[in-house]
Amino acid sequence: MRIRIRTAFISLVGSALGALVGVLVWARRRRRPILEDDTIDMAPPPPSRNGRLPIPEIDIPIQDFSFQVVEAFLVGSGEYRLCQGENTIGQHTSNMVRLPEASPYHAVIEIDAERAEFMDWQPQAPSEINGQAVAVGERYPLADGDEIRIGLTTLQFIRR
């Protein structure tokens, strides 16, 4: 008899606590203060002459979206178009220039409107620019016609 009463009491207390928590959560959501940002103007905008709703005018400065298209390529066993920004070179599929004989992430060419720079990442297989060895982690400026040797592949940098 005592076990049944104790079990029933524990079950009743557990149910009451669960219901109390549910009510408290519901009440807290209901009593959320209304902020000024929550109010909505329900009046629709006046229709235009053709009966459709007017398109809002948005002033966006054109200079924020302006960028200069940079035409640069690496030409060798294939032709690789380079984009403005970082262009990674290596054998991994995430690289923009994929070379099977290079390291997974071998080097990077960074291009902007005024300059192009080459940086080698691999000390085990150093790259060469125009026959001169490149130090790992150093930035080297690239000019139109420079030859870059990565592993067994020789690529020519072309900028138009």
- Residue 65: the pLDDT is 44
76 lies in the same domain as 153: yes
Number of domains in the chain: 2
> Is residue 152 one of the residues assigned to a domain?
yes
- Residue 66: the pLDDT is 45
* pTM, two decimal places: 0.56
CA distance 50 to 112: 47
19 lies in the same domain as 82: no
CA distance 55 to 58: 9
- Residue 2: the pLDDT is 54
> Is residue 53 one of the residues assigned to a domain?
no
- CATH (domain of 129): 2.60.200.20
> Is residue 104 one of the residues assigned to a domain?
yes
Which residues of the chain are under the pLDDT cut of 70? 1-17, 20-70
DSSP secondary structure string for all residues of 74-102: EESSSEEEEPSEEEEEESSTTSSEE-TTS
Token readout for 24 is 């408290």
DSSP β-ladder status, 128-129 and 79-82: unpaired
Give the range of the structural domain holding residue 26, as residue numbers without chain letter: 2-35
- Residue 131: the pLDDT is 93
- Residue 58: the pLDDT is 65
- Residue 78: the pLDDT is 82
Region label for 100, one of left (φ > 0), alpha (ψ between -120 and 50) or beta (otherwise):
alpha
151 lies in the same domain as 104: yes
- Model confidence pLDDT, tens digit, residues 96-109: 889 888 889 999 99
> Is residue 51 one of the residues assigned to a domain?
no
> Is residue 29 one of the residues assigned to a domain?
yes
